[in-house]
Structure 1
Amino acid sequence: MNFKDNETGRLNRVIDLESILENLSGIYNIDDTENIPKGDMPGDKIKIGESHIKKAQIILPRLLKMLVPILNENPNKRAVVAVCGGSGVGKSEIASLLSYYLNKLNIGSYTLSGDNYPHRIPKYNDAERLRVFRQWGLKGLIAGGEYIGDRPQILMELQKENQDSNPELVNKYPWLAIYQRSGRSGLKNYLGTSNEINFDEISGIISQFKNGADSIYLRRMGREESELWYEAVDFMDKNVIIIEWTHSNNDNLLGVDIPILLNSTPQETLEHRRARNRDGAVDSPFTMMVLEIEQKLLISQAAKAKLIVSKSGDILSYEEFINVMVKQQ
């Protein structure tokens, strides 16, 4: 199957969906998953396993049925797919596999990581999240007339121990409930919003791509101040960008054609993060709060997803997804 111009590498004729679907079994063999091109987040640890392969192969034919008509209708034969979900659900791995399979079908695909587009590098963004939580928490105590007596000193000690977000301490310090509730409210107004993320930049990339740009400068963000740069990426032979990112189904992101939601519960997410040892504070009360807020944000946006996939690889309707999440809460 070759729908491309031999000289330019561009798609130059209508893609025959039926012929592609008939040949899917021939592309599924993977000799070495280490050689599969991954996303573009510097230093990201991606380990593709059998569960990811199984899930990607469940998704691919369903994705193609939605994707091919969009490619055929776009004058530049281009489309954007989003793979979203909570931390540790397998976004990077499954997006990489989907790109790999599309490329084997001669549908050029590039995997873009949305984690390159917060306003701040990771350690500063983590610090800003904590600052927002604490600032709003303090304001809540003051507004409620509860920032009195020895409470400021107690709170400072809890902050030093990173325990001020621990809900178990509310029994000992009832006033801490106001602090945590107010802090959570402030954090909700930061996480996954334009205050945290440069959605305009990614939306601009999507627009350039779909309008036929041959080359686009993409951002690269490491974990240190010196690890921030741009690379000119060649999109001459690319037809699909797959954005792998928690927030790739966010209302602030414009131009996504097919959002795919990979579902997991907060507990499943935390267990995976522990196993992967992604960061030192993975099981802290504050990290749990962040994960819970992000999970609720994903649920609130799930109705837009064109495909919802459970942790076990089942395809869920939106109604089934809501029922599952209600039972797991």
Structure 2
Amino acid sequence: MKGDVLVIEEHHRRAAARLASELLRAVPPAPARLVVTVAGESGSGKSETATALSDELRRLTGLGALVLGQDDYFALPPRSNDARRREDPEWLGPHCEVRLDLLQDNLDAAREGATSIEKPLVDYAADSVASEVVALGDARVVVAEGTYVSLLRHVDCRVFIARSRLETREHRLRRNRGGEALDPFVESVLDTEHKIIAGHRHLADVVLTREFDVVRQR
């Protein structure tokens, strides 16, 4: 998402280094690509971990890793989506807010060796959604990150960050997009999201603990 703010810290890089060393063994021969998802609650460090993982894979191999953020796949841009949530209490969750079908299509194309994909691009400041063509080039791994990406299919490794909205409050305050970290309505949304997302932990192959230790579940 254009205009997003990332705060990548040592614990993100430490977890990414451990993940990268394991994932490299599973990268398929070109032109196929490995697909990884990084899920968790708002402010858990999904974007930072995915970006750190991409950086580490490039450092180790010299090859790229493409990060696809779920924020680009929302049906509405951020301020419009927030307004819709306030008007319609049913407008919350993966079944309505997020175009997971389009993200799935982009992942499948990348997995199968496409040289480029056309994807949405959200501009946070402009509250708009455009589209862009992304060349996949030397990318050998595609990482999708977001609250609901554990629900995607055809994934080689699902990572889940086990930090609740209360544990992520400090991180959210530091990012504080649009002042949302101090908004009681947003907190109520995050509480509802918590009830949805907590159940996704059992889908994960790898769990990152609240200290960002890497624990393999399967």
The normalised TM-score by structure 1 is 0.61
Q: How far apart, CA to CA, are the structure 1 residues paired with 2:216 and 2:66?
A: 28
Query: Which amino acid counterpart does residue 307 of structure 1 have in structure 2?
Result: V
Q: How far apart, CA to CA, are the structure 1 residues paired with 2:63 and 2:146?
A: 22
Match of 2:130 among 222, 225, 229: 229
Match of 1:64 among 10, 24, 35: 24
Match of 2:165 among 259, 266, 273: 266
Query: Which amino acid counterpart does residue 39 of structure 2 have in structure 1?
Result: C
Q: How far apart, CA to CA, are the structure 1 residues paired with 2:199 and 2:209?
A: 16
SS for the counterpart of 1:272 is: helix
- Cα offset, 1:256, TM superposition: 2.3
Query: Which amino acid counterpart does residue 117 of structure 1 have in structure 2?
Result: Y
Instruction: Give the structure 2 partner of residue 46 of structure 1.
Output: 6
- Cα offset, 1:42, TM superposition: 0.3
Match of 2:115 among 200, 205, 214: 214
In structure 2, runs of 5+ residues without a counterpart are none
Q: How far apart, CA to CA, are the structure 2 residues paired with 1:80 and 1:317?
A: 17
- Is residue 58–residue 313 contact of structure 1 (8 Å, CA) maintained in 2? no
Q: RCO greater where, 1 or 2, for CA within 8 Å and sep 6 or more?
A: 2
SS for the counterpart of 1:200 is: helix
- Cα offset, 1:317, TM superposition: 6.0
- Cα offset, 1:293, TM superposition: 1.8
Give yes or no for the alignment of 1:86 onto 2:46: no
Structure 1 or 2: more strand by fraction: 2
Structure 1 or 2: more helix by fraction: 1
Instruction: Give the structure 2 partner of residue 118 of structure 1.
Output: 74
Cα deviation digits, residues 41-75 of structure 1 (max 9, x gap): 1001112222222222233223334x33xx24xx7
Q: Percent identity?
A: 31
Q: Size of the alignment, in residue pairs?
A: 216
Instruction: Give the structure 2 partner of residue 287 of structure 1.
Output: 186
Cα deviation digits, residues 9-42 of structure 1 (max 9, x gap): xxxxxxxxxxxxxxxxxxxxxxxxxxxxxxxx10
CA separation of 1:109/1:317 partners in 2, compared to 1, >3 Å: closer, same or farther?
closer
SS for the counterpart of 1:254 is: coil
Match of 2:86 among 130, 141, 145: 130
Cα deviation digits, residues 256-314 of structure 1 (max 9, x gap): 22110112122122232123322324233322221122222222111111100112122
Q: How far apart, CA to CA, are the structure 2 residues paired with 1:226 and 1:285?
A: 21
CA separation of 1:48/1:193 partners in 2, compared to 1, >3 Å: closer, same or farther?
closer
SS for the counterpart of 1:239 is: strand
CA RMSD of aligned residues (A): 2.1
SS for the counterpart of 1:242 is: strand
The normalised TM-score by structure 2 is 0.89
- Cα offset, 1:205, TM superposition: 0.6
CA separation of 1:81/1:288 partners in 2, compared to 1, >3 Å: closer, same or farther?
same
Q: How far apart, CA to CA, are the structure 2 residues paired with 1:317 and 1:107?
A: 25
CA separation of 1:308/1:102 partners in 2, compared to 1, >3 Å: closer, same or farther?
same
In structure 1, runs of 5+ residues without a counterpart are 1-40, 134-185, 319-329
Give the number of the structure whose alpha-carbon radius of gyration is greater: 1
- Cα offset, 1:203, TM superposition: 0.9
- Is residue 76–residue 129 contact of structure 2 (8 Å, CA) maintained in 1? no
- Is residue 81–residue 242 contact of structure 1 (8 Å, CA) maintained in 2? yes
Q: How far apart, CA to CA, are the structure 2 residues paired with 1:111 and 1:282?
A: 25
Q: How far apart, CA to CA, are the structure 1 residues paired with 2:7 and 2:173?
A: 15
Q: How far apart, CA to CA, are the structure 2 residues paired with 1:212 and 1:103?
A: 19
SS for the counterpart of 1:249 is: helix
Q: How far apart, CA to CA, are the structure 2 residues paired with 1:208 and 1:317?
A: 27
